[in-house]
């Protein structure tokens, strides 16, 4: 047997990545280019939760600061950063003239259809 002490191998709890998320670089590059052209793009999907009046919605937008929130689906209006649902995870990032917004909502959303794919270019 060896009299040498065993080395303890410690693993990091996460992999090495950039300190800031990919959203920062997306808003920094794509968002600013879109803001220069006075554009905003919004995408989203919404599905009704079976046997309830609630919907599950995932939506995001990126572009000029004044138009980014307006590019989200109309039934999510006023819910960005709100607390009127069972679950609402909203995030926004603004860099100069560009803004990116994303939200995941589970709850009642007035005017939301049973199934919706949303794409809006403003």
Helix (H) or strand (E) holding 41, with range, is strand 40-48
Strand order across the 115-121 sheet: 87-95, 98-108, 54-64, 40-48, 115-121
**What is the C-alpha to C-alpha distance for residues 56 and 45, in angstroms, rounded to an integer?**
8
Per-residue pLDDT averaged across 44-58, rounded? 96
Q: Which domain holds residue 75?
A: 40-121
Asked whether residue 16 is domain-assigned, the answer is no
Q: What is the pLDDT of residues 80-108, one digit of tens each?
A: 988 888 999 999 999 999 999 999 999 99
Please, which pLDDT band fits residue 10 given cuts at 50, 70 and 90? low
Which pLDDT does position 101 carry in this prediction?
95
**Span 22-39, average pLDDT:** 92
Structural domain includes residue 94: yes
Q: Percent of the chain having pLDDT more than 90?
A: 75
Number of structural domains in the chain: 1
Residue 46 lies in a domain: yes
Q: Identify whether 54 is part of a domain.
A: yes
Is 35 part of any domain? Answer: no
In a domain, 27, yes or no: no
């Amino acid at each position: 047997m060896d009299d040498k002490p065993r080395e303890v191998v410690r693993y990091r709890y996460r992999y090495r990545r950039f300190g800031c998320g990919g959203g920062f670089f997306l808003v920094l590059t794509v968002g600013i280019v879109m803001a220069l052209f006075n554009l905003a793009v919004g995408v989203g999907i919404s599905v009704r939760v079976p046997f309830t009046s609630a919907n599950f919605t995932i939506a995001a937008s990126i572009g000029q600061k004044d138009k980014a929130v307006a590019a989200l689906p109309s039934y999510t209006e006023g819910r960005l950063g709100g607390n009127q649902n069972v679950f609402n995870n909203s995030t926004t990032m603004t860099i100069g003239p560009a803004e990116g917004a994303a939200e995941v909502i589970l709850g009642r959303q007035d005017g939301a259809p049973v199934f919706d794919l949303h794409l809006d270019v403003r």
